[in-house]
Amino acid sequence: MSDLFAVPRLPKELPSDPLQWVKDWLEEAFAKKTQRNPHSMACVTVDSENRPAARMVLCKDVVPDPGYVVFYTNYKSEKAQHIQDNPNVALVLHWDALGRQVRIEGQAIRSPAEESDAYFATRDWLSQIGAWGSDQSAVLESRAALLAQVRDRALELGVSAVKNLRSITASDRNMIPRPPHWGGYRVWARRVELWIEGRDRIHDRARWERSLEPRDATSFKTGEWTSTRLQP
Ligand SMILES: Cc1cc2nc3c(=O)[nH]c(=O)nc-3n(C[C@H](O)[C@H](O)[C@H](O)COP(=O)(O)O)c2cc1C
């Protein structure tokens, strides 16, 4: 039978490591400027009563070996509370312009502090202050109260007392340490699905699975990936 579709599909022989493909697809999405944040991904957590909640986060790293992806957030946020109660997480990346979707399911574990420190140091200065300034997911009285809180905390961090933080020039920007309640999560993949859009809804799907057993407080012992194709 002739090939039904012109779009590139998954190879006949499925790759042995799906996360290397995820990394390559993400790089391609950046290179082709498919959208403003090609690394945005839906992140689903489950609360203590098994109710799922989804929100977008930014995928800041894909590490095929040993197989996890990284996002950063506030460890006091609602999602962090969920992860503490139940570390099972589902992630979805979607590049509409490329007709590709990635699904990752696995277990979230906090990144090592040094890794979060190193990443925090690369962030924009105002974003660093923002990480101290906002109690993510806490109830907010008013926008004005939030701005006052950010300013007050900036002053506590030794920022020079001016009305507009943006007006502080680079030479007057002091070093801001990482807040202890802010950092990364590594989501260790137990299941990965690559999806490529096909014509007439005849999409191309493949799923990889492996075992994931806690090795210690910061990592997992992983089994070999096994792969299978799925009907669209
Ligand atoms: C494109 C996009 C990217 C986002 N990236 C992040 C992120 O990397 N980390 C984060 O904590 N929140 C991020 N947010 C905000 C979250 O979606 C969410 O509002 C916030 O984390 C609070 O979620 P929670 O109350 O469920 O913990 C992003 C939102 C959008 C729309």
151: helix, coil or strand? helix
Under 8 Å between Cβ of 54 and 40: no
* % of residues, the chain, pLDDT over 70: 96
Taking residues 132-148, what's their average pLDDT?
94
What is the token pair recorded at 19? 């996360």
| Atom 1 in ligand 1: residue holding the nearest Cα | 40
The whole-number pLDDT of residue 1 equals: 41
Q: How far apart are CA 82 and CA 117, in angstroms?
A: 23
Average model confidence (pLDDT) for the chain? 93
What global pTM score does this model have?
A: 0.94
Determine the residue of 56, 93, 127 to mutate for testing ligand 1's pocket, defined as the one with the most ligand atoms within 8 A of the Cβ atom. 56
Q: How far apart are CA 32 and CA 45, in angstroms?
A: 30
Q: How far apart are CA 110 and CA 185, in angstroms?
A: 4
Ligand 1 pocket, CB under 6 A: 37, 40, 53, 55-58, 71-74, 77-79, 136-137
Is the confidence at residue 122, as pLDDT, over 60?
Answer: yes
The whole-number pLDDT of residue 171 equals: 82
In the reported structure, the alpha carbon of residue 98 is separated from the centroid of ligand 1 by a whole-number distance in angstroms of 24
Q: Which atom of ligand 1 is nearest to the CA of 136?
A: 22
Taking residues 207-231, what's their average pLDDT?
95
Name residues whose C-beta falls within 8 Å of residue 178's C-beta, 6 or more positions apart in sequence.
116, 117, 120, 121, 128, 131
Q: Which atom of ligand 1 is nearest to the CA of 55?
A: 17
Taking residues 145-163, what's their average pLDDT?
89
Report all structural domains of the chain as residue ranges with CATH numbers, in order of start. Answer: 18-118+181-230 (2.30.110.10), 122-172 (no CATH)
pLDDT tens per residue, range 58-69? 999 999 999 999
| Atom 14 in ligand 1: residue holding the nearest Cα | 57
Q: How far apart are CA 29 and CA 36, in angstroms?
A: 10
Is the confidence at residue 4, as pLDDT, over 90?
Answer: no
In the reported structure, the alpha carbon of residue 188 is separated from the centroid of ligand 1 by a whole-number distance in angstroms of 19
3-state DSSP percent of the chain in helix, strand and coil, to 5:
30, 30, 40
Q: How far apart are CA 46 and CA 82, in angstroms?
A: 6
